[in-house]
Structure 1
Amino acid sequence: MTRALVDVAATAQIRARIADRVVGRQREVDLLLAAVSAGRDLMLEGPPGTSKSTLLGTITAEWDIPLVFVEGNADLTPSRLVGHHNPARVLREDYSADNFVEGPLIEAMRTGGFLYIEEFNRAPEDTLNTLLTAMAERVITIPRVGSVTALPTFRVVASMNPYDNIGTTRLSTSVHDRMCRLVVTYQDAAAEREIVKRRTGIDSARVTADAVAVTRATREREDIRQGSSVRGAIDVALLASELAQMRGVTLPEVDSIDPPRGLPEDYTNVMLDAMLVALSGRIHLDDTAFETPEAVLQEIWQDHFVLLPAAAEPG
């Protein structure tokens, strides 16, 4: 198998173009590019909303190769992953290569694409064993069809959320031994503000800063097992903008991202309602928590819009 997808000079050019399309993540881009260019399969480990799919989509688009997406769950059987014979045609024609319906693994192997399996640790063990054969040999033999050999650009990239252990299985050492591993964490506040600005098109720096701040606060409380990703901040900003328009509330045009002071009550109320809708389903409380998600979010709102400005007052 060819070791690299492209030469070093081309990889450097791709790296520069990806940097223009992805906010931050330069280190992750470098490591991901290095792994797949070296011919390695890869595990991306991190919470949802940390740009894993965006990074892969950008890289495969730059290389002009397919990104074949699969969701890992209990229904991902070996036949769903590899493919199956069309039952109606089998009854008429018997088994043949012509009536075989390719699954995502065979599609990725034939086209030289990246097979991206999300929630990898939710897939059944026998499915993972089937995948190991493709990863180790780059060839799969299908009864009544023959052998399928992967093109050189074929890669397996999997992702998993280390904070979610409900309905998951422990991956075997055989799986870990065949994959490199890249941990992807949340970006800093500045990067998340830029992401929200790009995704929403909202000009108010105050709205963007507030949406990011309250969303990041959900990741810092002890009574929240897992907080919201930047997707929550995007929705907070979008909902706040829509609510403000409906209620005739003027969004602040203040460019400052410092602790908010002197903001109109109608604006802070809009932000509270936007938070409750956008974030209440995205936060997962600790098992020992006695409050509701809405009550926790109201505390976060009060900390940000009432207590923090008061603490920042002179004297």
Structure 2
Amino acid sequence: MNLTYSLPESIQAILEKNKKTNNPLNTLIRQGGYMPPNIDLLVDAITALSMGKNILLKGPTGAGKTKFAETLSNLFNQPMFSVNCSVDLDSESLLGFKTLSYEDEKQVIEFIPGPVINAMKHGTFLYIDEINMAKPETLPLINGVLDYRRTITNPFTNEMVTAKDGFGVIAAINEGYVGTVPLNEALKNRFVVIEVPYIKGEQLKQLIQTNTELKDDKTIDLFVKLSADFIQAVYQGKLSEDAASIRALLDACDLSVVIPPKRAIQRAIIDKLNEEREREFIYNLTETLF
């Protein structure tokens, strides 16, 4: 299966460079990479990162934001250090921590770098997942990392760290979820925002074919239709975004190779939901299709 895109020369250069690593775009997709519903998403993200800008992937849960970030990392042939935000995120989780170790049989204090310092010093990507789950007072610690300065004074060592060439920041956000807080303007203005919608139609079919064990075309088409019904129901307010997660749908596709599709959907999707109304709605949709 080949995907051919008409890309600007600057983007083609990145893909050509990537071919030298024997890992072109269509191979990335087969290996579990992100398949964009619109090529502009990929072009815009690559363009922004190529220009040294930070990007913020914004979209519903399960739409593939983390896969998108991993695919960008592979396209640039860049390792990626990750931060998973929560209310417990603190400076040590971001920057690193001190610990006791031994050097020539003497006890010394050693600093263990965290993902931010590691990404800066190695000149690689930094991925900040669910950035709006962090407490508002935590992320300003790295404001200097996210703007033109690309520097930070490590509070644990007093070292001034400046990011090496190649350093870039990709963040992801799910809006409106319990425990999230709105991003302040100073933080948001440090990012180029890219909306990541659900994958649908032919793109979803290709994703199922290349990323799951399910190979039966008729069953795949039914799962694509089921997903479209889920997404429509989300837009109508009948289902939460969790119910339409593409990640959960792919799990159901895998399970359906061994167990009946209706049971696969129950295990991968229905049983995750807390609202009886949503569970019943999906159950009825499943009964209709399968």
The reply to whether TM is greater than 0.5 is yes
- Cα offsets for 1:186-212 (capped at 9, x unmatched): 122111111111112322101111122
Give the Å deviation of 1:230. Answer: 2.0
- Cα offsets for 1:138-194 (capped at 9, x unmatched): 1111243411110121112110112x3310111111011111110010122111111
Give the Å deviation of 1:29. Answer: 0.8
* 1:101 counterpart = 2:112: yes
Give the aligned partner of residue 89 of structure 2.
76
- Once residues 160 and 281 of structure 1 are traced to their aligned partners in structure 2, the CA distance between those partners, rounded to angstroms, is 25
Partners of 1:212 and 1:230 within 8 A in 2: no
1:181 match: secondary structure: strand
- Once residues 271 and 146 of structure 2 are traced to their aligned partners in structure 1, the CA distance between those partners, rounded to angstroms, is 37
2:223 match: secondary structure: helix
- Once residues 304 and 281 of structure 1 are traced to their aligned partners in structure 2, the CA distance between those partners, rounded to angstroms, is 19
2:209 to 182, 189, 197: 197
Deviating more after overlay: 6-15 vs 133-142: 6-15
1:272 to 262, 267, 273: 262
2:244 match: secondary structure: coil
Give the aligned partner of residue 256 of structure 1.
none
**Residue segments in structure 1 that go unaligned for 5+ positions in a row:** 1-5, 244-269, 286-290, 306-315
2:25 to 18, 21, 24: 18
* 1:63 counterpart = 2:63: no
Structure 2 letter corresponding to 1:217: D
* 1:241 counterpart = 2:231: no
User: Rg bigger for which structure?
Assistant: 1
Give the Å deviation of 1:281. Answer: 4.3
Deviating more after overlay: 49-58 vs 30-39: 49-58
Give the Å deviation of 1:233. Answer: 2.3
1:79 match: secondary structure: helix
Give the Å deviation of 1:216. Answer: 2.9
2:264 match: secondary structure: helix
Could you say if the C-alpha distance between residues 8 and 214 of structure 1 is closer, same or farther in structure 2, counting changes exceeding 3 Å?
Answer: closer
- Cα offsets for 1:67-106 (capped at 9, x unmatched): 11111101210121011211567xx7565xxx11101100
Partners of 1:228 and 1:283 within 8 A in 2: no
Structure 2 letter corresponding to 1:278: A
Structure 1 letter corresponding to 2:254: L
Give the Å deviation of 1:56. Answer: 2.3
- Once residues 70 and 256 of structure 2 are traced to their aligned partners in structure 1, the CA distance between those partners, rounded to angstroms, is 29
Give the aligned partner of residue 183 of structure 2.
171
Partners of 1:49 and 1:229 within 8 A in 2: yes
Give the aligned partner of residue 141 of structure 1.
153
Partners of 2:18 and 2:77 within 8 A in 1: no
- Where do residues 229-308 of structure 1 align in structure 2 (5 Å cutoff)? 229-243=245-259, 270-282=260-272, 285=275, 291-305=276-290
- Once residues 229 and 158 of structure 2 are traced to their aligned partners in structure 1, the CA distance between those partners, rounded to angstroms, is 54
Give the Å deviation of 1:271. Answer: 2.4
- Once residues 125 and 107 of structure 1 are traced to their aligned partners in structure 2, the CA distance between those partners, rounded to angstroms, is 23
Deviating more after overlay: 31-40 vs 164-173: 164-173
Taking only aligned residues, the RMSD between alpha carbons, in angstroms, comes to 2.6
2:240 match: secondary structure: strand
Partners of 2:252 and 2:268 within 8 A in 1: yes
- Where do residues 202-213 of structure 1 align in structure 2 (5 Å cutoff)? 202-213=214-225
Moved over 4 A (4+): 6-9, 92-95, 281-285
Count of equivalent residues: 264
- Once residues 78 and 264 of structure 2 are traced to their aligned partners in structure 1, the CA distance between those partners, rounded to angstroms, is 39
1:41 to 54, 62, 65: 54
- Once residues 272 and 60 of structure 1 are traced to their aligned partners in structure 2, the CA distance between those partners, rounded to angstroms, is 36
RCO comparison, higher one (Cα < 8 Å, 6+) = 2
**Alignment TM-score, normalising by the size of structure 1:** 0.75
